[in-house]
Structure 1
Amino acid sequence: MMNRQKALNLLGMAMRAGKLISGEELTIADIRAQKVNLVFVATDASENTIKKIQDKSSYYHVPCLTEFSQAELSHAIGRSRMIIGVRDKGFAKKLQELLSS
């Protein structure tokens, strides 16, 4: 539970550092361009959206996590978003460590 909160705080920090991309179209474009190191999709996004992002992510070998709801993701970054891409390798690595333990 603590690590989930730490991960959300880290997302907020990454947002302030300008290391995130958010929104479906922008994130997909960045996945294609290999600019994203980790993708978050809200658990309450539509099935089609989740499938589209997961398929795109797996094709380009980008880890895709459905750990948080839209409310949690939106609160963390201060904007209403379903999909967030992490552009920074360091942030992506730390987020994965926090969420896998």
Structure 2
Amino acid sequence: MNNKFLQFLGIAKKAGKLVEGYNKCEELLLKRKADLIILSTDISENSKKKFENYSSKHNIDIINAFSSSELGNILGSDSIKVVCIVDKKISEKLKSLLTENN
């Protein structure tokens, strides 16, 4: 159902507009360089709350619609819990693809 979203996420990675991993994303958020946060559905509650706080503090949207294995599969890893997009246009496209598929 969200195949286009995941495919575009893979394109964003190839374009270098995506950062994956808890620490790297947190660093980007502290520097206010992230435009979108993507959390896995199976992320821990503490981590989820931490990124939700960054989201509300810096007015950044969060997508929480895919498991860590789904994110990992498309991005070339076993599992990924946190992804940040660092390009405004790519962020907008991903959000539109998500709503299009839902």
TM category (shorter chain) comes to over 0.9
Say whether residues 1:27 and 2:25 are aligned partners.
yes
Say whether residues 1:75 and 2:73 are aligned partners.
yes
1:98 is displaced (CA, Å) by 1.0
Cα distance in 2 for residues equivalent to 1:96 and 1:67: 11
More strand by share: 2
Gaps of 5+ in 1: none
- TM-score normalised by the chain length of structure 1: 0.92
Query: Which one of the candidate residues 52, 55, 59 is aligned to 1:54?
Result: 52
Cα distance in 2 for residues equivalent to 1:64 and 1:37: 9
Give 3-state SS (helix, strand or coil) of 1:67's partner. strand
Gaps of 5+ in 2: none
What amino acid is the match of 1:89? K
- TM-score normalised by the chain length of structure 2: 0.91
Tell me the residue number matched to 1:65: 63
Tell me the residue number matched to 1:10: 8
1:22 is displaced (CA, Å) by 0.9
Q: Following superposition of structure 1 onto structure 2, how do residues 33-52 of structure 1 map, counting pairs within 5 Å?
A: 33-52=31-50
Identical pairs, percent: 34
Moved over 2 A (4+): none
1:8 is displaced (CA, Å) by 0.4
What amino acid is the match of 1:90? K
Give 3-state SS (helix, strand or coil) of 2:66's partner. coil
Give 3-state SS (helix, strand or coil) of 2:84's partner. strand
